[in-house]
Structure 1
Amino acid sequence: MYITELSTTHSQTQLQRIGQGFCGSVWAHPFPDVDFRSSALVLKREDGGPGRSLLREYQMHHQILAALQASKNVPAAYRVNIPVSFLFMDETSPHWASILTRLPPQYTACNASVSERIMPMPQNVRQLLGHRFWGGDVDQVINDPTNEHCLIRPYLGRTRGGQQSPSDTRPRRLRVFSLRNFPLHLDQITELGLPADEYAMVMADTLAFLHWSAKVDANDVEFVLARCRTQTQPEAASESHPGFGSREFTSGAIGPHAMWILDFDCCGQLTMDEAGVEQAAKCFWRNDPFYPKPGSSSPDGDRLWEVFKARFLRASQEILQAEDTAVQRLPGRLMNRIVETRGAWAKSPTG
């Protein structure tokens, strides 16, 4: 029942590749046929780089969802969504018979997962980003079908103007302007009047939940801004609407939107001890620059780090209030280690 939208039972139209990462390619029913009122699906294939496992991602995804269901109270104000995970298929799955004909001819069965589609930003937001941040032919960018799946990556730990920290060594300039996984840096967030403080608090709440409730290290987890779910949002988490927090972002620049987290294939288990603190600090620095960072070269960056740190400690305290003293000290130790290890775990320019 979970793969109908991706199968020939639903349509003979070719599925559209809407993403490509180290783990594999991502496919979905093309626009404008997607019904935004329903929970659309994506197919993620394990056809990327060696050493990446969709089964591992599926298992970590479900560990996080199970922790969310078991949590009586996740401290958060603004909404954080986690995609629903429906199905894992290996190369022998009978579901491939009704899916492969909607993929290019050379594609064969492999490990794959089916999950909820994160609905992209609408055309008016794509136009805004193109006009503000691209000096070329904006119409060509907007009308390019590959840019329809526009998700925004909020980089609170980086500006366009220079290096934010010794751990952040990748090139700044976009050689090709693409709206897929669009990197929106802190200075751009400020320019658009978007709520950087609230984004920082949401990331802090999420990281506290992942570390202390789900007990995962959050290695290479991705944050994106996208459309809100169209169904009425319950304040409590549910299996059909996994997430926490109830308030939506309502910025006038890009309209109502929500924070989503995804990509769990690199996540590892986190132990509740000093070794876990060291592991979590390394993962913090090795991730893309979503989080505010200590030692920023800008006053806004420094202030945002303090917002993030205070919120993380507060959320962690609420989550760990029933734990023993040694465990309750771990969030503070983690924040200290992040400061102490600034520049120790630089991510390479190629990621």
Structure 2
Amino acid sequence: MSDGGVATRPATEVVGVELGTRRYDIVIGSGALEELGPRLGELAPGGRVMIVTDENVARCHLERLERALAGHVALAPSVIVPPGESSKCFGELQRVVEEMLDAMLERGDLVVALGGGVVGDLAGFAAAILRRGVRYVQVPTSLLAQVDSSVGGKTGIDTRHGKNLVGAFHQPALVVADTSLLDTLSPREFRAGYAEVVKYGLIDAASFFEWLEGSWREIFAGGPAREQAIAASCRAKSRIVASDERESGQRALLNLGHTFGHALEAATGFSQRLVHGEGVAIGMVLAFGYSVRLGLCKPADESRVRAHLEAVGLPTDLAHIEGDIGDAESLIDHIMQDKKVERGSLTFILARGIGHAFIARNVDAGDVREYLAERLSAR
């Protein structure tokens, strides 16, 4: 907004997620939030909007979002949940749904998820099951959410058995990734999100990984490279989602580092001891290390991945996790809850080199257990 209160149209990039009649846009750019009012007015003319957010994000951004929507849509009372992974639970899901019903939200209305991955997953799942499906819009406020969790329609909550084990595929109607919202992130949160950016280079874009090695300081500083990295990540994810919406094939590649990472998150109680992106960073190094063990890629590849993640300040080893994380057997138990397990057989995303990830099925659980025991012994 200018000093006179006149909206100026910011420069944005739009990435399309091509899903036929359910196609939607990812709008990327600093100031993109100010475009949201007209966009929602077009999506739900005469409809109402309910914002779901968390306490921390509400303090920083809720008022700005409400101003952007004023005069374009009618606002129902916002729902504010506690911050952190613990909000992805049955109790908070029930509360959010009940508040949506109290507000008499209808199928033609919209839910707006304003927050990071936790809010996006929780609000998206609530929208998926409310009246058997209400449209929702993602307004991601963390780097991790802007480049990964807000795109693709995966919604869900955690249980005592593991992460994201209860949920639904429910595609958003729109994603608005306003890069100016990232300015309020803590350095730790930004680093954690950056792990998901690195993932796209390791999967199938070695040149992107090489560019990140040379450009990460500008990305962290907030220069033009930040928006370039976010847009490149969104293009990569949208391409994979469009080809395999429900993860029956190649979309599983997006889980590089996540099988190990989710197990480590479970071992630390989904707490601040290890946030998601940190688990993914360690998980990617473990995946490359296991690939080296199997003779699939060179030790230099693992070393290069580790060196870049360490350069930006991310953890890369089990020794970097404070406190007890259990033994190899308990970690395997967590891994066996992974959604890619098929008839009791493990599936991992492994690599033949940087930019050459692949889906490895029927991985021997005993060998993974032995590998984890070796890594734990060096902790």
- State the TM-score, normalizing by the size of structure 1: 0.28
Structure possessing the higher relative contact order (Cα contacts under 8 Å, 6 or more residues apart) = 1
- State the TM-score, normalizing by the size of structure 2: 0.27
Q: Which has the higher helix share?
A: 2
